[in-house]
Structure 1
Amino acid sequence: MKLLATSVLLTIASLAFFKAEAQDSFQISYRVNTNKSVDFDYQKSDPGTFTVLLKFNDLTNSLASREQQITSKNYSGRLLSLTPDNKDNGIGFGYSYTYIRGKLKPKYNPDFLYLIPYKKDVIVRVAESSFVNATYFGSTTPDDWKVYKFFTKTADTVTAIRKGIVVEVRDLHETDESADVAYTSKINDLIIEHSDGTLASYRGFKKGSISVKVGETVLPGSNLGINTKTNGNTFYGVSIMLYYLKSVDFESAKNANLKTSKSLYGIITPHFSTVESADVIPEPQQEYTSLRNPDVVKKELSKKEIAVAIK
C-alpha cells in the first residue's frame, strides 16, 4: 500500500487572488454628480467578499483619506463617495486599486465543528498535506499550516463540510495518477465562503464531476463532486483547507519570491464531528467514520434548509 501523502502549494499567485494589473474580475467606475460629489461603484464576477485597497495618488478639494480600505460583497455596489470641501469647486483625483478575496480579519470560532467531507458512514483515512514552498523552494512552513486530505478506498462523492456560498470553481484538468508526479498545480478545485468570512478550499475533483456553480448556496452534506487519485496514491482523496484573510500588505507580497513569500492568509485548524468522536482534530494516518450529526448540520440553517439537509 502506498503511503498516503499530498502537498499543497501556497503562493500569492495561487491562493491570494489579488490583482494589481488586469482588473477583469473586479472593476471600479466613478460618477461625478451635479453637486460635484463623486461616487465610486464596483462590479465583480462572483458574489464572494473582497477587500479593496483604493489609493488616491492625487486628491484635491476633499478631506477624505488618500488610502481607503473597503469590504465589498455581492456582485456590485457602492464603494465610497467623496464630497467637495469647497462646494463651489470640483474634486481633483487620480486613483489605483488592489483587491483580494476575503474579509480582512473576520471574527470566527476556532472550535467550530465541521462534517467530514463525505456522505454518512464513509470510512476515511487522513493525511496532512506538506507545504510545497518549504519542500521545493526553501521557504519556511507557516506556524499555522494545517491542510488535511481525506482518502477513501474507492471513488466517492465529496460533500460540503459547512453551509456556504460557492465563490470559485475550476474544473479543467484530467487527473494525473502517475507516481512520478510529486506535485501538480493542475488540480480541479472550488472555494466556498462561510457566513463568518472564513473560506474553505476543496481540491482534488475528477474532471467534469463538480456539481455546483458559482453563486450557489450549499448546505452541510451537499454533493460537490467526485474525488480522485493523485501522486500515485492507491486511494482517492480530497484536500480541505480552511483559511481567512489576515493581511493586506500588498507591497511586501509583490516584492517576494517563492522562498521569501508570506501568505496574506491565515490557516484554521478545523474540528470535525465523527462516529468515533463528537469533536476531534484529525491525526495523520488515522481512520475516521463520517457522521451526519444533526446538531452540527442545523447550526446555521433555516427550518426549510434543515428539512433538506437532514433528509
Structure 2
Amino acid sequence: MKSTSILAAICFTLCITVSFYGYAQEKIEISSSRNEDNSITYTYEKQTPGSHLIILDIQQITNAIPPREFITVSGRSGNLFTLKPINEKTGINFRFSYSSIRGKYDPKPDFNFVYSLPFKKGKEIKVDELSAIEERAGIGKPENWKAFMFTTSSRSDSVFVARKGLVVEVVEDKDRDYNLEYSFKQEANYVIIEHRDGTMARYDVLEKNSVVPEVGQTVFPGDFLAMAGTYDKLENKQLRFWVYYLNELDRDVLRNPRRMSDGNVFYSHLNPLFLTSEGTKRLKKGDFATAAIHEELITAEMSRREKKKRSTD
C-alpha cells in the first residue's frame, strides 16, 4: 500500500463542558492510504478505550459513494471505512472534517436492568437528587434528567461497582478545598464505566488517589472502586452517581461549538432500578436504602469464561 496524507483539513473534538459530561479531550487521529485499485482506506487511532462516535462532515466527494456520517469506534485503532472508485481509472477526491464525542451511536439502553447500590452490603444510604447546571441557568435540563447524591452517616465509605463494564476514564488528582463549602464543583475526582448496552455510569466526587481499577479494565458488580470523597469538609463525604447515554445529535450545534451551552444536549439520562435490602426499586429524593448484592446480580453479564474463573478463584 502507498501512504498518502489525509484529505481532512480540520479535526474538532467535542466536549460537553457545561456540567456533568466534561471529560478529558480525546484526540482521534484519522489516516488514509491509497490502494492499487485507486480505493482509499481510512483508519483511526485513539489513546483511550471505550466507544466514541466519529461524526463526518463531508465537504466534497467525487467518484465514490459517500461513507456513513456517524461511525462508532471502540478499539484503540482499526479501519474506519474504504472508498471505492466508481470509475476505477479515475482517482477519488474526498474532503471532510470530523468531530468526536464519547458514546455509541444509536445505543439500546436496558431501562429495566438492575444495578447494585455502589456501597458495601448492609450500608444504609440517604438519597438526594441533583439539579442540572443547565436548569439552574434557566436554559432547561437534559432529557430524562436523573442524577443522585448518596450520603451516609460515616466519614469514610468505600464505593463499589454497580454494574459490569469497562473503565474508560479515571480522574483522581483533584484536591478538596478546606476553605469553602460547595454544592457543586467542576473539578472533582471521578470514574466513568461503559456498559455493554451503550450506557455509561459516572461515579463522581471520589477521594484523591483512591481509585483501584485502571483505565481499560473490566469490572464487575461488587468490585471495590474507590473511596467516597468530598469537595470540602470531611463531614460532607458523598458519592454522586448517574447513568446516561448518547442520544440526540443536533447538526447545527455540532458545527458550532459556541452553541454547546444553549441548552441542547447530546445525552439522555436513565433512572436505574437498584437492588436494595428493601427490594428492587427506583430511588427518589428523601429515600433511605440499604445496599444489597447477590450472586445472580454479580454474574448477570459475565461470559462463560468469566463465570468459570470466578468459580475457581
- Secondary structure (helix, strand or coil) at the match of 1:252 reads helix
* Partner Cα separation in structure 1 for residue 285 and residue 312 of structure 2: 29
Structure 2 residue aligned with 1:144: 144
Distance 2:171 2:78 in 1: 26
Report what 1:170 is aligned to. Answer: 171
User: Partners of 2:53 and 2:269 in 1: how far apart?
Assistant: 18
1:127 aligns to what? 128
Aligned residues: 294
TM-score by structure 1 length? 0.87
Task: Show CA shifts across 1:143-192 (max 9, x none).
Answer: 51110111122211111100000011111211225554332111001110
For residue 213 of structure 1, what is the aligned residue in structure 2? 214
Contact 1:16 1:100 (8 Å CA) reproduced: no
Which of these residues, 31, 34, 48, is aligned with residue 33 of structure 2?
31
Residue in 1 that maps onto 2:102: 101
Q: Which runs of 5+ in 1 are unaligned?
A: 1-9
Structure 1 pair 14/118, CA: closer, same or farther in 2 (3 Å)?
Answer: closer
Distance 2:144 2:186 in 1: 22
SS of match in other structure, 1:15: coil
Name the structure 1 match of 2:13.
none
Aligned to 2:61, the other structure's residue is in SS state: strand
Partners of 1:11 and 1:263 within 8 A in 2: no
Deviations 1:115-159 (A, max 9, x none): 000121111111111112222x22212351110111122211111
SS in 1 for 2:252: helix
1:241 to partner: Cα distance: 0.9
One-letter code aligned to 2:284? E
* C-alpha spacing 1:204/1:298, structure 2 compared with 1 (3 Å): same
Q: Whose RCO is larger (CA < 8 A, sep 6+)?
A: 1
Structure 1: how far apart are the matches of 2:89 and 2:249? 37
Relative to structure 1, the CA distance from residue 182 to residue 174 in structure 2 (aligned partners, 3 Å threshold; closer, same or farther) is: same
The answer for unaligned runs of 5 or more in structure 2 is 1-15
SS of structure 2 residue aligned to 1:256: helix
Report the Cα distance in structure 1 between the residues aligned to 2:285 and 2:65, rounded to whole angstroms. Answer: 55
Identity %: 30
TM-superposed deviation, 1:198 = 0.7
Secondary structure of the residue aligned to 1:192 is strand
Of 40, 45, 49, the residue aligned with 2:42 is 40
Distance in 2 (CA, whole Å) between partners of 1:74 and 1:17 is 18
Give the alignment of 1:236-255 within 5 angstroms.
Answer: 236-252=237-253, 254-255=257-258
Over 3 Å counting, the alpha-carbon distance change for 1:105 and 1:231 in structure 2 is farther
Task: Rate the CA distance shift 1:122–1:191 in 2: closer, same or farther, 3 A.
Answer: same
- The match for 2:54 among 52, 67, 70 is 52
Residue in 2 aligned with 1:184?
A: 185
Q: Is the 8 A contact 1:297 1:309 kept in 2?
A: no
After TM superposition, give the deviation of residue 94 of structure 1 in Å.
Answer: 1.5
Distance change (3 Å), C-alpha of 1:305 and 1:133: same
Contact 1:205 1:226 in 2 (8 A): yes
Alpha carbons of structure 1 residues 27 and 226: separation in structure 2 relative to 1, 3 Å: same
RMSD: 2.4
The answer to whether the 8 A contact 1:243-1:265 is kept is yes
Aligned partner of 1:15 in structure 2 is: 21
Q: CA deviation at 1:235?
A: 4.0
